[in-house]
Every structure is written in structure tokens, then in C-alpha cells.
Structure 1
Amino acid sequence: MIALAVWACARACPASCTCTTEKHCSVLCDRSGLSSLPREFPCEASSINLDKNSLRFLSERAFGTLPSLRSLSLKHNNISFITPGAFKGLPNLVELRMAHNDYIRYLHTRTFAGLRRLVRLDVADCNLFNMPDRIFLENYALKEIFCFQNNFKRIPGSLRGMENLTHVYLERNKIEAVAFNSLQGLRNLRYLNLQENRINVIHDHSFHDLSRLENFYLNDNLLSDLPRVAFKFLWRLKMLNLGGNLLTNISRSWFSNLVELEVLYLDRNRLVYIEEGSFENLTSLVTLHLNSNNLSSLPFSVFEPVYFIGRLYLFRNPWHCDCSLEYLKEWMESYKLVRDIPCASPSSVAGLDLGAVVYARVNGSCVDPGELNLTTVSPEILSSTENRFNSLISKLLLQEFRDDAGNVTKSPKNRTLLDPAEGLVSGVKRAAVSQSLVSLLAVWCDLWMAFGFQFEHVTGT
């Protein structure tokens, strides 16, 4: 029986194609220069590959009757029109791929009629502007639909009520809003990708029916705010990507029910404030991305009690590294949760990484870094500096004292008969020493004014 099937497949193989019979009858017609379909295919064919040809038109029952066909690929052709009923005669087709047909801009309501076992449909990058609301009326088994990189301005209404859908790819379209009923009835959806659209509005309860959603991409849109309970019913969500939007604040109500969330992206927004307790219910959170925002402070109360977070990304923010961030430094040193936190202010630590900032303490309380970059100067260094200046002053004073003593021990005769030139030289030396002393004292005063305040805080005097 098997030998008969192999013989039949090879006998009916189209002239421009190759047929293989390793497991099932596979017809390979890709890159064959076809401008129209072969007249017939082997009745036993389980898969047909027609990728990268020049096909332009699919007539009614274009493939005849192929009861064994499970996979059909028509990617990278020039198809511009598909006659209603073109896929009739393919009752067991499971996978249909038509991506990258730039001239498909419209699909008839009956385009996929008869494909009751279709599970996976790929119409990505086809220049589609919309799909009729009832186009999937007969496609009860459909689970995965790839519609990314088209021209949709709204989520196709044809998706509503598709209870078996598990994966929907709508990224890189021109969708501007998510209406309250756009995703209605998608109770088994696990994966939803809406990234790189133009979404600026999400209506209340838009995600009400997505109780089994696990991966949700909303990044790189135009969202400046979200409904208060936008994600309330997403009990099983594990990954949420809100990066690359226009959010300025985070509300504590947004993530309050996401107890299974493991990864949260809030990077590349305009965040300046995160409400206290915003992450307190994220008991499964492993990774949090807050990098590339406008955050200057991040109180510890924002995280409580999420102390077991595995990785925290905070780089590319204008951090103000005062005592309120001391806990972050301790996290960096103790748990290796965070790294790369460059300080933007105060000026004394600007450019330093938070890990290099030294916080002084007075009576057990943290003291903010001063206006000079003294955070890495220890009391020993300051003490050594003071001792060196004192030593120099002492040497100059001693030298002047010795000069005066030498002049006093000379005889009155010598003093009265002192050579004018020698007296001039002695006067110049004394004047130079005095001038050096004055200059040194001036430098010491300037340095003490700069170091003094910080020195007092570092030593606790």
C-alpha cells in the first residue's frame, strides 16, 4: 500500500516541481519561476510549497481536491486577487501561509470558506487594510493568526468571538486604539502582540476576556496613560512589555492583580514618578526594566515587599544620588540585583556610578554627599593633607627664625659695617620667605574653606 502511494505521488508530480516521499508526499515547487499554478497535484500530497514564484491569481478550487493536504505555502508571490472558494477541496488543511504578497489588499468574506480544520493562518506583510468581520465564520479550529506588518488602523473585528485563538500577531500595523470590544470573547488567548503600532488610547475593560493571556506586547506605541484597572483580569500574565511609550507616571492600581507576572518592561518611557506600592503585589516578579527614563529618585517603599526581585535595570536615568538611594547601593553590593547606575547629581558625585559613592554618617544617620566630589576622600587623606601643610608652614617659620638668630649673634661692628649689597640680599631673602608664607597661608585658607565642611561631616567633629 505504501509502495503504491509512493508510486502515485511520483507519477503525478508536476513537471516543474520535485516530490519527496520520505514520510508523506511533499510537493516542492518553490523558486520554480511559476506564473500560474500547475494543472494538477498528486492526490496523496500532504504539503505543497509554492514560495517565491510569480503567482498572481487564485481561481475557485485552484488546487482541485486534495483530501490529504495539510500544509500549503504561497509566501513571496505576486498574488493580488483570491477568488472566493479558492481553497475549497482542501478539507483537512491545517496550515496556510500567504505572507509577503505585497498586492493583497482585500480579502473576500468567503476567501477561507471550507477550511474547517485550519489551525494556523499567515497573512503577514500583505498590505491588508482590513478583514471582513465574518471572514472566519467557518474556521472554528483557528488558533494562530499572523497579521503583522499590514495597514490595519484598528484590530480586525473578525477576531471577536474566536474562542480557540491562542496566538495573535498584530505588530507593526497602524492601529490607533483598542476598543472595549476589540478582543471580546478571546478566552483562550495566550499570546498577543500589538507592538510598534500607533496606539494612544486603551478603553476600559478592553482586556476583560483575556484571563488566560501569558505574553502581552504593547511596547513602542504612543501610550501616555492607561485605564486604572487595565490589566485587572490578566491573572495568568507572565510577561508584559510597556516599553517605548510616553508614560510619565506609574499607578499602583495597574499591576495590582498580576500575581504571576515574571517580567515587566517599562523602559524607554518618560517616567518621572512611580507611585508607592506600585509593585507590591508582584510576588512572582523576576525582572524589572526601568532603564532609559527620567527617574531621579526611587524610594524603597516603591518595591516593598518585592525584595526577592532577581534583576533590576536602572541605567540611563538622571539619578540624584543622595541618601534616599543608599538602599540601592546596598542591593548592588549585597545581592547583585542592580548595576550601572550613573549619578547625574549632586555635582560632587556626577558621573560616578552609585556603587562608588561613599555615604558619610553622623550619629548613625546618613549624610548626603557635599557639593564637592569628596565622597571617596577618607578622613586619613584629609588628615594627611592637613599635616603636610602644617609641616611646610613650620619649616618656613623655622627658617625665618634661624635667619633672625644669625643676624643677632653678629658683633655690633659687623652690624654697623654691613655691606649694603649683603644687606639687600638678606632683605630679599626675608621678603621672599615672608611672601611664601603669606601665599601658603592663603592657599591653606582656600583649601580649608573647601574641605572644612565635608571634613567635619566625615570625621563627625
Structure 2
Amino acid sequence: MLFLLVFLFLIHQIKSCPLTDEYLSRCHCGILTNGESYIKCDENSLNHIPKFKRSYSYDELILINNNIKNLTSSSFDNIKTIKRINLYGNNLSFIDENLLRLLGNYLEELILTGNNHINSLEFLTRYPLKKLRLIKLNQFNLTNINLEKFFHNMTNLEIISLNSCQLKHIPNINHIKQLNLENNFLTQTIFLSTTYYYLNLANNYITSIILQNNKNLISLNISKNNLNEFYSLTISNKNLTILDLSYNYLTYIDWTILNDNLIYLNLSSNLFTNIIINSFPKSLLSLDLSLNQLKTIEKNSFFQQLIYFNLNLNPFDCNCHLKWLKNLMKKFNTTTWLCSLSDFKCQNNFMPQIIFFNISFIKVFNNYALFIQWSIIDNYHTINYLQITIDKPYRISQKFYLNKTRAFISNNIQFNQYYHICLLIIHKYAHDKYCQDIFAQNPIINNQIKFQDNDFIFNDNNNNNNNNIDINIDTKTNDFNDKHLYLLLIGSCIGALLTFILLITCCYLCYQIYQYKNINQQPIYEKCSQNIHYPIYHTHPTCSHHQIIYNSENLSNSTDSTHIDTSSSTTTTNHPKHIYQTIDSQEYRSLQRQHQHLFELWNESVKQKR
């Protein structure tokens, strides 16, 4: 009975399809299981919007991938109650500004594809679109349009997709939750700080992404860019759940961005040669590492939690140390392996081999020490580093490398004690351990050991961490350092002595120069006396005061009588001539004592004159 009712309802919908007869062969009306009705026309069958013979309440108009060019003001007149219009894949060249004048109270979704030349969005703002929730514009020219302004009043708008719209920056539209900017002109470094929940920046030209404040961001897609750098400046990206970095040029990322909420991570088609498994969050369920440069990967229980795991097309060295991975991948539908070694077997010449490992108990001065020697062959350079461990209590040394073949342990080594010493070899295939027990008895005197330049000497006396081994410097190294210390002290003394002599010499030269200047410096009254030809009471340019100078000899030899003041005209020509100027008492006292007799003679002459 129910089936019959549904069948009759469908027949009714077909008969009530509002299209004119010429479109019934290319279009059809239908109803979905959720009760929504639609009108859909076949692809590549329309050159313009179909004509509707009457108004009827339909939910969706689907005209994708046709050849429609123009949208006029009357294109949707007879279907004004439509909720969703999908014109994706059409090559629109004209959109009338009044296109949506009758759809403001009904339209919720609008999808349009242009011809890369439409550069106006006036049809969206001419009339209010009260219920518009989603808009997708493809192949528009929006370079010079202020998108923040255009979408500001569309308060119900949640999703904006602007694919291939020639955009050069990310618009900041606060009330939008999802923004799609795929295939635009975004370039160089992006300092990302948005309020969006979902952001798609795929297929652009971005070289670097620096995450800043993105507290709402849940999904971020930056695939198919030119990324070689990706990291975070803050910890405000903790809601990030989906991250797609595929098809870039990454060799490293800031693993701290992988927060505890991350579920999906796509790193495929990059240039990773090493992956830090312990950095992945425990929340991760899907991981794609395909098409990278991975040669090996460490075994970790983390992989067991994954629902999806892809390692395809990596150049793995598929030796015996990757057997665990071969068994694990049976769980996932990923079977395309690219192996340089495909038999999952280990040949001895690929593994580092230890040739010699020996421990000796020695005595250095009054202290006991353990002297460790080893020799390792690593033809294929697989070793990452070495370490030494000792028990009672357990301690471990710092990391060192293959060029070191000896070590000395002298921290708390006691006589008549057993010690368990191990050499750890950490290489790219596994972690190997070679151990040996030694009883601290009958020590070798230190002069029986020939020291070498590559002896590993590690001193951790300043480290308060008791888990580290203190490996002290041997006696030969101490002697070497003492000799250098003596030479340093002698050199310092010689340098100090030469510096002192240089200072004394400089002081002596300065004193001689000072004496020479004092001897050759002419007193100020003598300088002024050299210019005796100046008139009486005339101030000499080089003297800042009036001076009195007496010099009869010079006056008698002078032929220029015009410089003599009329006040002296009453004197006889046979008398000596007097030229005088005032002298400050302070300046008078400053004169040298050997010249005071000159002024005494002047005083006497003045008295006689008077």
C-alpha cells in the first residue's frame, strides 16, 4: 500500500513538472527520499535557462555542465521559490544585476561558473538575500573587489567558495565558517590567523605557512602548493583535526603543531626522508606517507591504532628489520611497495659489525678507572651514534660517534667490585648492545697504556644528573694541559713586562714634549712688546688686556712719528720715548719673577717724567 502511494506521488510529480514540452526530453523532475524535489537537465543539452510554464515549489534546480552564457533578470521568474541553484560548469559571460530580485526569501545556495571575465558581484548585493547560506563562484575575476564589504551584510552566510577567482590574498570575513580559495594566486609566505573553521588553500603558490592565532580552525588544506616550510608560532591551534600537506616540497615540519585532537594527516608526495614517530599524537587515525623518500621506519605500537595507513611508493630498504612492517601492512589495503631490497632478509655486510670489545681496570694516580676499547666496521654508514652504560647504579653516557674507539670511566670506580659495562650501537636498522663483566682487581698502571688522539674523553663532573657516566681525562692529557698552562703563564708574564716598559716609555716621551713646550713658550708681555709700533693705549690683537711696555732703544730707531700720541709732544726729542698701556694687576702678578725688574725700571721712569 505504501509503495503504491509513493508510485502515485511520483507520477503526480512527473505530470506536474513545470517545464515546457520542448525541455521534457532533456530534463526531468524528481523527488529524493528525504522529500526534497528537484529539476535536473542533462549535461551539454542547454544553451540557456529552460522555460517554465508555471510557478511551482521546487527545492533544487540542477543545470551543471551545460553551455549557458547569459543570466537575465527574468531567468528565474517562474521558479521564484527555488532554494538551490546549481550552474556549475557553465561558461557564464553576463549576469544581470536584477537576477535574484524574486529569490531573496527562498534562495539558500547558489553555484555559478563564469568565463574568467565577470568582475562584478552587484547581483548579490542589489537585493537582500535573507536565507543565503552557501555561495560558490568559479572562474570569476575578483582581483579588485573588496570581498569583506560585499559579504558583510549576509549574516546567514556560512560557506564561501571562490575557486579560480584570481585572488591574491585571504579575505577576512568574520562570520564565515568555511572558506575555499582553491586554485588562486596566493603566493610566498602566509602568516595565517583566521576565525574560519574550515580553510582550503589548495593549488596555489604558497611557499611557507606560519600558523598564528587560529583557535577555531578544524580543517586546513594546503595541498598542491610550493611549501617547503610549515610551523606554528603559538599553541592556539589545538582544535586542528584535519591537516592536508600533500603534494608539496616538505622535508621537515614543526611536529608541535600535531596536537592531541588531530585525526587525519596527509603528508604524501613530499620529500621526507625521516619521520619522528613519537611526535605523532595518539588521537591520529589516518596517516598517509606515500610517495616520499623513506628508506626505513622504526617499529612502534602507534601504528596499531591507525585505521588508515599508506606507505606506498617509498624507496624502502626491505630487509629483515622491516618484516614487522610487511606483516602490519596486511591490515591495510596498501600493497604497492617500492623496495631497493625486496627479499626482507639481512645480509651481514649491510649490518655494522663489532670486531673488538675489551674493558681493562687501570689506576690513574690514586684513582681507579675502567678503560674501554672497541672496533666496529660500518661499511654502509648505518650507525647513528654510540653510548656506554654501567650498572651499580645504572648510568648512561652522552652520545658519541664512530670515530671514537676508547673511553675512560673513573667516577666511583672501586677496588674489588664487579661492573657490567655495555656498548650501545644505535643504527638505522636496530639497536645493538655488546656487554662485558669485569672484576676490579689487579689494576694496570697508567704508564702501560698508550694513549691516542681519538680516545673518547667525557667529563660530566658538572652535571648533577646521576644517570650520566663521568669519564675523566687521563694522565697524559693532564700532563699535556699542565705544560700548556706553564707556557700560558710565562707568556702572560712576558706580555705584562713588555706592556709596562711601553707605558714607561710613553710617559717619558710625554714629559719631554711638555718640557720642550714650556721652554719655547714666549710670555705674553714679550709677544706684545714685539708689536711696539702700535699707538699708545692701543690694544694689541693678541693681548686681551692693556699692557705697559718700555723700550727706548726701539723708539729711538723708529722713524714713524705719527704713531706717537699728542700727550707726549711736550717732551724733548732727546729724551727716550715711552709707550705705555694699562696692565691688570692680576696679569702683572702672573708674570715671571725674572722680568719684574723691567717694570721697576718703568715705574722709575714714570716718576721722573712726572
Determine if the alignment matches structure 1 residue 69 to structure 2 residue 65.
no
What is the rounded CA distance, in whole Å, between the counterparts of 1:269 and 1:108 in structure 2?
38
Match of 1:253?
256
Determine if the alignment matches structure 1 residue 200 to structure 2 residue 207.
yes
The structure-2 alpha-carbon separation of the partners of 1:264 and 1:64, relative to structure 1 and needing over 3 Å to count, comes to same
2:242 aligned partner, one-letter code: M
The structure-2 alpha-carbon separation of the partners of 1:370 and 1:227, relative to structure 1 and needing over 3 Å to count, comes to closer
Match of 1:17?
23
2:244 aligned partner, one-letter code: N
Match of 2:272?
271
SS of residue in 2 equivalent to 1:75 = strand
What is the rounded CA distance, in whole Å, between the counterparts of 1:154 and 1:210 in structure 2?
20
SS of residue in 2 equivalent to 1:355 = coil
Following superposition, the deviation at residue 306 of structure 1 comes to: 3.4
Q: What TM-score does the superposition give when structure 2 sets the normalisation length? A: 0.45
Contact 1:17 1:28 in 2 (8 A): no
Determine if the alignment matches structure 1 residue 121 to structure 2 residue 117.
no
Following superposition, the deviation at residue 125 of structure 1 comes to: 4.4
Match of 1:288?
287
CA shift digits 1:279-323 (9 cap, x unpaired): 2xx0122343334333455566xx6x736443654454455689x
**Mapping of 1:175-194 within 5 angstroms?**
175-177=186-188, 179-180=190-191, 184-186=194-196, 189=197, 191-194=198-201
Higher-strand-fraction structure: 2
Contact 1:309 1:337 in 2 (8 A): no
The structure-2 alpha-carbon separation of the partners of 1:57 and 1:369, relative to structure 1 and needing over 3 Å to count, comes to farther
Following superposition, the deviation at residue 268 of structure 1 comes to: 2.0
Following superposition, the deviation at residue 98 of structure 1 comes to: 1.5
The structure-2 alpha-carbon separation of the partners of 1:74 and 1:265, relative to structure 1 and needing over 3 Å to count, comes to closer
Contact 1:174 1:198 in 2 (8 A): yes
Determine if the alignment matches structure 1 residue 108 to structure 2 residue 88.
no
Following superposition, the deviation at residue 61 of structure 1 comes to: 6.0
Unaligned 5+ runs, structure 1? 344-350, 373-461
Following superposition, the deviation at residue 180 of structure 1 comes to: 4.1
What is the rounded CA distance, in whole Å, between the counterparts of 1:298 and 1:29 in structure 2?
52
Determine if the alignment matches structure 1 residue 161 to structure 2 residue 150.
no
Match of 1:137 among 141, 152, 177: 152
What is the rounded CA distance, in whole Å, between the counterparts of 2:62 and 2:270 in structure 1?
43
1:221 aligned partner, one-letter code: N
1:210 aligned partner, one-letter code: N
What is the rounded CA distance, in whole Å, between the counterparts of 1:352 and 1:26 in structure 2?
57
Following superposition, the deviation at residue 222 of structure 1 comes to: 0.8
Following superposition, the deviation at residue 161 of structure 1 comes to: 0.8
Following superposition, the deviation at residue 223 of structure 1 comes to: 0.9
What is the rounded CA distance, in whole Å, between the counterparts of 1:321 and 1:234 in structure 2?
37
Match of 1:171 among 182, 189, 192: 182
Match of 1:218?
222
Following superposition, the deviation at residue 148 of structure 1 comes to: 3.0
2:251 aligned partner, one-letter code: T
Contact 2:200 2:221 in 1 (8 A): yes
The structure-2 alpha-carbon separation of the partners of 1:162 and 1:368, relative to structure 1 and needing over 3 Å to count, comes to farther
Contact 2:93 2:118 in 1 (8 A): yes
Q: What TM-score does the superposition give when structure 1 sets the normalisation length? A: 0.58
CA shift digits 1:15-41 (9 cap, x unpaired): 543474866775556665444674875
Following superposition, the deviation at residue 53 of structure 1 comes to: 4.9
1:119 aligned partner, one-letter code: R
The structure-2 alpha-carbon separation of the partners of 1:358 and 1:96, relative to structure 1 and needing over 3 Å to count, comes to same
Contact 2:273 2:295 in 1 (8 A): yes
CA shift digits 1:96-141 (9 cap, x unpaired): 2223x32553232552542221223232345655753222234322
The structure-2 alpha-carbon separation of the partners of 1:122 and 1:108, relative to structure 1 and needing over 3 Å to count, comes to closer
What is the rounded CA distance, in whole Å, between the counterparts of 2:71 and 2:338 in structure 1?
60
SS of residue in 2 equivalent to 1:199 = strand
Match of 1:241 among 244, 248, 252: 244
Corresponding residue pairs, total: 337
Contact 1:43 1:66 in 2 (8 A): yes
Contact 2:116 2:165 in 1 (8 A): no
Match of 1:353 among 342, 355, 361: 342
Contact 1:251 1:278 in 2 (8 A): no
Larger radius of gyration: 2
What is the rounded CA distance, in whole Å, between the counterparts of 1:39 and 1:370 in structure 2?
81
Unaligned 5+ runs, structure 2? 1-8, 358-374, 381-610
What is the rounded CA distance, in whole Å, between the counterparts of 1:170 and 1:368 in structure 2?
56
| Structure possessing the higher relative contact order (Cα contacts under 8 Å, 6 or more residues apart) | 1
Following superposition, the deviation at residue 78 of structure 1 comes to: 3.5
The structure-2 alpha-carbon separation of the partners of 1:66 and 1:17, relative to structure 1 and needing over 3 Å to count, comes to same
Following superposition, the deviation at residue 92 of structure 1 comes to: 0.9
SS of residue in 1 equivalent to 2:195 = coil
Match of 2:569?
none
What is the rounded CA distance, in whole Å, between the counterparts of 2:22 and 2:116 in structure 1?
25
